Chains A and B, each alone.
Chain A
């Protein structure tokens, strides 16, 4: 079987998930932890990295669960519950594994992992993967791309926010307000990428 076209499709899916269809900037998913954890660069990096990892793995796992278990059994409507269980179980498992294998990494990433279970971007990516009917390779590409897109957005945001620390922002706009305005400007800039992958 020639896998080249599959891989190139997966690559396109991955890149478009980062730029043109960024899960945060054009689908608004994962906004709560985004606003909450973008105050410092360090925590943004940690959370972002955890999201990339978890999103890629859970997308792949959920693809298997959906297409190999739920579809043959005609239980597609169970996907909401199944996906959540898979995500929660996976996060729990990773937490334990990291704790045993590398305590230093656990100290850096550990606190962010439980936060991820309730990150709607993770569940959202899995649901989009089903709706768009991706094959397995594209799903992995999509998970990776979406995670990376989210990572990029939160790291950039954290950088911008640390610079805002000393600025005189109107009181009502401090915190969430100004963050949303900056996300808006970022989203605006990302629209510029729209044409890049036209026709694919």
Chain B
């Protein structure tokens, strides 16, 4: 049988068929999970930047429920999610994205109702250099944005070198990650300025 000229073709065909079936079956099985993971990181990011919304230890279902029940989808308000209490807007969560050093950086920025203070900042998708640019997703960096006042003169947010003294609207950049920092600063400011322009001060 192995002498048959058709055998290799048939053999290849059978192997490919088996392998493809297995892969398709397997990825169907995990597809929901992959999708849910993506939504979960986004949901978590939105909740984290809104004041008092994020509680650690919640399951993904509970998180999603909390988000759909308490946060309004971005229909008005220039593309930002809104958190209301008794009908009054408490804070906005604005999803932003832009080109990082290697690939896209996606983040969510939380803004208080007066549009003058940042309530939180979370980078939920990035592939910057580990140890350098990737540090922008860490709490040490993003934590600086909590209760940060937006500057009304010049750029809304400015990144300063480490150890330099900070003024209104300024945070310390990650040392050694010049490229990522410049780009992230631009992403934040472009999006923020556009959004402020859309919703009006």
Contacts and interface: CB of A to CB of B under 8 A. Distances in A.
A194 B103 contact: no
Contact of A131 (B23, B103, B178, B183): B103
Contacts of A133: 104
A133 B102 CA distance: 12
B182 A198 contact: yes
Interface residues of B, number: 15
B103 A77 contact: no
Contact of B179 (A75, A78, A131, A198): A198
A194 B179 contact: yes
Nearest to B30: A77
A200 B182 CA distance: 11
Contacts of B186: 199
A57 to B, nearest CB: 24
A199 B183 contact: yes
B103 A132 contact: yes
A89 B23 CA distance: 22
B41 to A, nearest CB: 17
Contacts of A75: 24
* B19, B99, B127, B179 — most chain A CB neighbours (10 Å): B179
B27 interface: yes
A21 interface: yes
Range class of the A interface residue count: 10 to 19
Contacts of A194: 179
Contacts of B104: 133
Interface string A46-87: 000000000000000000000000000001011001000000
Contact of B27 (A21, A77, A81, A200): A77
B151 to A, nearest CB: 21
Interface string A164-200: 0000000000000000000000000000001100111
Interface in B27-53: 27
Nearest to B16: A81
A199 B27 CA distance: 37
Contacts of B23: 77-78
Contacts of B183: 198-199
Nearest to B102: A21
Contacts of A131: 103, 127
Contacts of B182: 198-199
Contacts of A77: 23, 27
Contacts of B178: 195
Nearest to A27: B102
A135 to B, nearest CB: 14
Contacts of B103: 131-132
A131 B102 CA distance: 10
Nearest to B24: A75
B197 to A, nearest CB: 21
A194 B177 CA distance: 11
A10 B115 CA distance: 38
Query: A-B pairs with the 8 shortest C-beta distances?
Result: A77-B27, A132-B103, A198-B182, A194-B179, A131-B103, A198-B179, A199-B186, A199-B182
Interface of A: 21, 75, 77-78, 81, 131-133, 194-195, 198-200
13 contacts: A77-B23, A77-B27, A81-B19, A131-B103, A132-B103, A133-B104, A194-B179, A198-B179, A198-B182, A198-B183, A199-B182, A199-B183, A199-B186
Given A198-B182, A199-B183, 16 more contacts: A21-B102, A75-B24, A77-B23, A77-B27, A78-B20, A81-B19, A131-B103, A132-B103, A133-B104, A194-B179, A195-B178, A195-B179, A198-B183, A199-B182, A199-B186, A200-B99
